[in-house]
């Protein structure tokens, strides 16, 4: 079973980026980097069969697959941000062969088309939000065996309200009524799935 996280950002803007003020100068790419690390790592080692698809308006789509990543892949947020921004600005080309992110994939697919493709491929696709069915209860009742795709919102909250997403009629699952950081949501989903096996 492959576990896939899908995250979207419409706020990232690298026009005036400086590493000295990552949150304030990048449109919160630090949030995405935290999510990437939360998805890919467990105790400083790569998770098995985990992907995170990062959709960034105006910059493209980046696929991080734990089974294909370079052994030099960064393990902290600041280093990941530095290399990820370099990779984005060079559009994945013209980066050195030993660049720590040269094993990620890029695509121009839209987030809605990617979700439709996941569904057509037989994956279970879920939206994570506070108003959904309890994740632990759902897992207990349904004994998940297919590849799982979890769609997270962005920090603005606008993405979950988009008609294209609502029109897909995805199952909404919740970790509770409390609002969590996206990186914490990823970690909690991984814990819930692990304890259900």
Radius of gyration of the chain (CA): 16
Give the per-residue pLDDT at 197: 58
Three-state SS for 150? strand
Model confidence pTM above 0.75: yes
pLDDT digits (tens, 9 = 90+) for 42-65: 888 999 999 999 999 999 999 999
Give the per-residue pLDDT at 180: 84
Give the per-residue pLDDT at 133: 92
Cβ atoms of 169 and 116 within 8 Å: the answer is no
Q: Which helix (H) or strand (E) holds 62?
A: strand 60-65
Q: Measuring CA to CA, how many Å separate 143 from each of 67, 77, 138, 156, 164? A: 24, 34, 8, 33, 29
Give per-residue burial for 77-103: e unless 16+ CB within 10 Å, then b.
beebbbbbbebbeeebeebeeebbbbe
Domains of the chain plus CATH, in order, are 10-45+54-107 (no CATH), 111-196 (3.40.1280.10)
**pLDDT digits (tens), the chain, 197 positions:** 899 999 999 999 999 999 899 989 999 999 999 999 999 998 889 999 999 999 999 999 999 999 999 889 999 999 999 999 999 988 767 777 788 999 999 999 999 999 999 999 999 999 998 888 999 899 888 877 789 999 997 766 677 778 888 888 999 999 988 888 899 999 999 988 876 65
Cβ atoms of 29 and 12 within 8 Å: the answer is yes
């Amino acid at each position: 079973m492959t576990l896939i996280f899908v995250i979207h950002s419409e706020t990232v803007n690298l026009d005036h980026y400086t590493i000295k003020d990552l949150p304030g100068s990048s449109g919160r790419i630090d949030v995405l980097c935290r999510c990437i690390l939360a998805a890919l790592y467990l105790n400083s080692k790569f998770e098995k069969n985990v992907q995170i698809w990062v959709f960034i308006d105006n910059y493209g789509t980046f696929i991080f697959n734990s089974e294909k990543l370079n052994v030099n892949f960064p393990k902290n947020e600041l280093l990941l941000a530095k290399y990820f921004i370099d990779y984005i600005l060079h559009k994945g080309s013209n980066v050195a062969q030993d660049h720590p992110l040269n094993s990620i994939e890029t695509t121009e697919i839209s987030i809605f088309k990617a979700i439709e493709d996941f569904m057509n491929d037989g994956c279970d696709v879920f939206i994570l939000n506070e108003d959904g069915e309890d994740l632990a209860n759902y897992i207990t009742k349904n004994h998940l065996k297919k590849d799982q795709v979890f769609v997270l919102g962005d920090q603005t909250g606008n993405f979950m309200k988009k008609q294209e997403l609502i029109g897909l009629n995805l199952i909404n699952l919740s970790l509770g009524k409390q609002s969590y950081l996206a990186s914490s949501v990823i970690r909690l989903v991984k814990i819930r799935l692990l304890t259900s096996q």
